[in-house]
Structure 1
């Protein structure tokens, strides 16, 4: 495909993705129609969507992946992130996760997705494969690598990953759903820095924890001799 044609093709794809984001954020996945999406995207025919996407599910996946910064981060930088130090990785991940708060349309879509996922198991399964499962899998693998290197304390990596993500979900829900005034006064930078520092204080191996672990092993061995 010639460069100019490729540019036109990708430009139209992005135009449809933007239109679909508006429709999904206002109607949800189940109620969104190709006619709605075509109108929002400013294209003449709803059938034209299938020239760029396999079906509505494929379009939805593209919308979520391309308009949620944390997924763009993982799609393009996951392996590179695996080699960076903990504070850097956790901070970058947290900032990307919370950047959605700066985009009212993306935030509106996330709210609808949560409500639809509760009511429709098929939607929940689809959303999980696109976003939550990928994010938790990355964090779990990263934490396991840090534990194996002796940087983080040994513990359940999957549980630890959910503890980290949970702090940001709580921030988003109290700020955007329950509209708690104190939550809305906490800046994204403050939330990121605080959550990362608290998490690292609990996870990092220190001389004190190493001594405690060594003492525990000695006591355990002596008890059974």
Structure 2
């Protein structure tokens, strides 16, 4: 069983809406919980394997992504707890943590102006990217090996091996002026009633915060 549904977005804790936080947790964390909850009877009967698609953001937390990072960190903790609960029943539980996933050619992904202010580009795909196919390959490898955790691309496995070190590196990566520029961009969107989210609408589609995009 693979739990893959998820959304992401960006915004400062100061200006991102509570609706955005609620929705992020509902889909990313509670959604994973629900899939596991209803799948467990079958998995215990078949001694199966539950694989949750998490994120490197579960252990590497960047500014302006508090909602997303918190929801994925919750998934990481949930999977750790579940693994201990069902191991003696012959059920294996794994967490797959992709880095930045490159959009498919036919996928329309809005430019995230908040993170562009922080990163200096719309996304970090050119530096730490992974294709959808690569993520699928790692997922298949995990299911064959019944592995407990992996990163896609696998060459970035150091992210989950040394999370404290990685977090220190993340915190040193962004100068104060870049963070302030991103916080300002988030605040400006909030005053317009807009958010940056793959689920709630984005900054240039005119959807007010909290209303799902069509």
| TM-score in terms of structure 2 length | 0.37
Larger RCO (CA under 8 A, 6+ residues apart): 2
Q: Which has the higher strand share?
A: 2
Q: Give the structure with the higher percent helix.
A: 1
TM-score (norm 1): 0.36
**Larger-gyration structure (1/2):** 1
